Amino acid sequence: MDKNIGKQENLRFDGVKFYSVHFDILGNPKENAEIDLDLTPKIIFNSQTQFNIVFDVKLSIDEVFSLALRAVGYFEMSEDLTDQEIVKDQLIHTNAPAIVFPYIRSFISMFTSNLGTIPTLTLPTHFFNGKLETFSE
């Protein structure tokens, strides 16, 4: 593992914004119902050093509810890393999604707890491996 990966000045997180949230109640909560979760982050490169991680999250229980949201995390990388592919890939494809995910997890928990119509949902922790796809609308 490269010692540059953990250096904080190599990756700056500029926050996360929630751009859309859509929630529908379809029926009454059911015990032991299986939750469907689609959570695949994608990347947008804005420049050689700036990029965004886009999460389009779909969460549902058949005939109970559906929740869809879009969250975007904003990042900037040190220019020193532009020619260090291994470090750059680790920061972009693993570290950045892992930084944004707790914000999404917290948002979903708080949102569902305030509804009062379904039990509070807490997503399990998630690990991100492999290359992210490029975001396209």
Residue-wise pLDDT tens digits, 41-74: 999 999 988 999 999 999 998 888 999 999 999 9
Range of the domain at 14: 9-134
| Counts of helices then strands in the chain (DSSP H, E) | 2, 5
> CA 55 to CA 85: how far, in whole Å?
23
Percent of the chain predicted with pLDDT > 90:
42
Mean pLDDT computed over 100-107: 94
In the prediction, which pLDDT does 33 show? Answer: 81
Is residue 77, in this structure, part of any structural domain at all? yes
Output the domain CATH number for residue 31: 3.10.420.10
pLDDT of 96 above 60: yes
The tally of domains found in the chain comes to: 1
In the prediction, which pLDDT does 6 show? Answer: 47
> CA 66 to CA 121: how far, in whole Å?
12
User: What predicted TM-score, i.e. pTM, was given to this entire model?
Assistant: 0.83
Is residue 4, in this structure, part of any structural domain at all? no
Is residue 59, in this structure, part of any structural domain at all? yes
